[in-house]
Amino acid sequence: MLRFYNSLTRRKEEFKPKGDIVKMYSCGPTVYSYPHIGNMRAYLFMDNIRRTLKYNGYKIDGVMNITDVGHLTSDADEGEDKMLVASQRENKTPFEIAKFYTDIFMKDVKSLNIDLPEHIVPATSVIEDIIDFVKGLLEKGYAYKTSKGVYFDISKFAGYGQLGMDVNAKKAGARIEVDSEKRHPADFALWIKAPKEHIMQWNSPWGMGYPGWHIECSTIGKKYLGEYIDIHTGGVDHKTIHHENEIAQSDCLEGHKVVNFWLHLEFLQIDGGKMSKSLHNVFTLEDLENNGFSPEDFRYFYFMAHYSKQQNFTYDSLMAAKNSLKNFKTAVIEHKNGTNCLSEEDKNKYQQAFLNAINDDLNMPVALAVCQKLLKEPKSRDVYELITNFNTVLGLNLEEEQNDKIPQEIKDMAEKRWQAKKNKDFAMADGLRAEIAKQGYTINDKKDGYEIVKI
């Protein structure tokens, strides 16, 4: 039985899709800056769900949006528009900004071997659909017009606050400064009238303007998945504002509950605290690679904590993941030509244990433990084949070469550096490290030696 923790009901529930194909929506990136490793954890979460569904025999029709219209810097319906801030910062049009950072995002998710949704949809490609969606809410009496735009009236939706929002504590706003014409501070913008100088705007029945942030996901979900969605994923930061508003506008337009399961990912912390540019602790995959780690090391690191718990990133913890992954791959290859056999009873035991783990709300730490225990069995082709089967969920590159062909010149310099370090000749050691780096390699020091890694 496949079970997920449903944020809507606040309990684990057995998952059953409404139809033959799982309809799944995942909140995508706002493409205004380089994606960081906290963002990437969200897409590994999406990947994990997709692979687990497929392992259970389900087919998926999945969608992910690309927010290229922008939303606010606070992520809480106030502040400046992220796309416009980036446009001014880099002296490019918002469309150039979106193209540049979308390309980087797609490169990063590919390097992490993320199983992408069937539809990846920029918000700017569905403006007419957004306008039709807003028209529908106005016609049904769930929205109203002001001199500044069109707002959703939360008083008309009895179910507002299902994901835990304290409506009374909610402050006003939606992309723009507080509108005194709003009926309730928590009413949110569906469409915003734009001043002439605003860079991104489109014609609408309400004049030139642009969409509120929340409306794009509801519109894209409706267009590509229809009036029922089995799973909607996203981070906990979107739970009580963005997703609360999605529920309101979607359920009111369709006249019934649209999304069945809401799955939310917890934050990635850095050294026990929040990521912050002011603290200089916002890392990208490129930063990890410059420090001798691969995207796959980070993928393995993700599996070491449950998605519903905050995960703490340090370079020490990433090194532990890197070493564990290396040992994991070595053990898999050793089993490939093994001569022993597993009994059918043992095969079934391991298969069931792995299935139980992933089907218990994606318990990847337990799933990894099952794999580690399996790899301790006597060398057997059966073990190799089981792990290969489990790897359809893990998504690791098990067949890659474990050791790069490192030139002898680099090995000699690394050994000379190690001896210089032992002799406390740190100037020579640092000079050799810099020369090695110029040749495309880095040195990871350990307690009893070092490791040469290609950058």
3-state secondary structure 359-400: HECCCHHHHHHHHHHHHCCCCEHHHHHHHHHHHHHHCCCCCC
Taking residues 115-131, what's their average pLDDT? 97
What's the confidence (pLDDT) of residue 79? 60
More confident residue, 444 or 302: 302
What's the confidence (pLDDT) of residue 89? 84
Question: Residue 390: pLDDT above 60?
Answer: yes
Into which CATH architecture does domain 302-394 fall? Up-down Bundle (1.20)
What's the confidence (pLDDT) of residue 64? 98
Distance (Å, rounded) from C-alpha 6 to C-alpha 421?
54
Indicate the residue type of 386.
L
Determine phi and psi for 45, rounding to 5 degrees. Answer: -60, -50
Question: Residue 91: pLDDT above 70?
Answer: yes
C-alpha Rg value of the chain to the nearest Å: 25
Please state which of the ranges 51-65, 139-153, 187-201 shows the lowest mean pLDDT: 187-201
Question: Residue 163: pLDDT above 50?
Answer: yes
> Which band of pLDDT confidence, cut at 50, 70 and 90, is reported for residue 112?
very high
For residue 3, give the 3-state DSSP assignment: strand
What's the confidence (pLDDT) of residue 331? 93
| Structural contact between residues 336 and 384, judged by C-beta atoms closer than 8 angstroms | yes
Question: Residue 173: pLDDT above 80?
Answer: no
Please name which of 38, 90, 39 lies closest in space to residue 66, comparing C-alpha atoms: 39
Taking residues 232-238, what's their average pLDDT? 96
β-partners of residue 234 are 264
What's the confidence (pLDDT) of residue 40? 97
Taking residues 396-422, what's their average pLDDT? 80
What pLDDT digit, counting tens, does each position of 286-315 carry? 999 999 999 999 999 999 999 999 999 999
CATH fold of 3-265: Rossmann fold (3.40.50)
What's the confidence (pLDDT) of residue 109? 97
Average pLDDT across the chain, whole number = 91
Strand runs labelled E in 48-168:
59-66, 119-122, 143-146, 149-152
| Structural contact between residues 113 and 397, judged by C-beta atoms closer than 8 angstroms | yes
| Structural contact between residues 361 and 308, judged by C-beta atoms closer than 8 angstroms | yes
Q: Of the spans 65-69, 77-81, 90-94, 346-350, which averages the highest pLDDT?
A: 346-350
**What percent of the chain is modeled with pLDDT above 90?**
71
Question: Residue 75: pLDDT above 90?
Answer: no
Q: Would you list the DSSP string of 188-249?
A: EEEEEEPPTT-SS-B--TTSSEEE-HHHHHHHHHHHHH-S-EEEEEEEGGGTTTHHHHHHHH
What's the confidence (pLDDT) of residue 176? 42
Strand runs labelled E in 236-283:
259-265, 268-270
> Which band of pLDDT confidence, cut at 50, 70 and 90, is reported for residue 337?
confident
What's the confidence (pLDDT) of residue 422? 84
| Structural contact between residues 232 and 8, judged by C-beta atoms closer than 8 angstroms | no
| Structural contact between residues 393 and 401, judged by C-beta atoms closer than 8 angstroms | no
Determine phi and psi for 47, rounding to 5 degrees. Answer: -60, -45
What's the confidence (pLDDT) of residue 174? 39
Please name which of 77, 80, 82, 79 lies closest in space to residue 187, comparing C-alpha atoms: 77
Taking residues 166-193, what's their average pLDDT? 72
Please state which of the ranges 56-65, 192-201, 320-329, 445-454 shows the lowest mean pLDDT: 445-454
Residues near 78 by Cβ (< 8 Å), separated by ≥ 6?
72, 171, 173
Please name which of 124, 127, 185, 192 lies closest in space to residue 154, comparing C-alpha atoms: 185
Indicate the domain borders of the chain: 3-265, 302-394, 408-454
More confident residue, 446 or 177: 446
Indicate the residue type of 45.
F
Please state which of the ranges 106-110, 158-162, 201-205, 275-279 shows the lowest mean pLDDT: 275-279
Indicate the residue type of 84.
L
For residue 311, give the 3-state DSSP assignment: strand
H helix intervals, 272-380: 285-290, 295-302, 315-336, 344-359, 364-375
The DSSP letter of residue 82 is: H
3-state secondary structure 145-178: EECCEEEECHHHCCCCCCCCCCHHHCCCCCCCCC
HSE at residue 279, side-chain half, CA atoms within 13 A, is 11
Please name which of 175, 25, 183, 33 lies closest in space to residue 97, comparing C-alpha atoms: 33
> Which band of pLDDT confidence, cut at 50, 70 and 90, is reported for residue 345?
very high
Distance (Å, rounded) from C-alpha 222 to C-alpha 229?
9
What's the confidence (pLDDT) of residue 172? 40
For residue 339, give the 3-state DSSP assignment: strand
Contacts 24+ apart (CB under 8 A), 426-429: none
What's the confidence (pLDDT) of residue 403? 47
β-partners of residue 232 are 25, 262
What's the confidence (pLDDT) of residue 448? 60
| Structural contact between residues 18 and 230, judged by C-beta atoms closer than 8 angstroms | yes
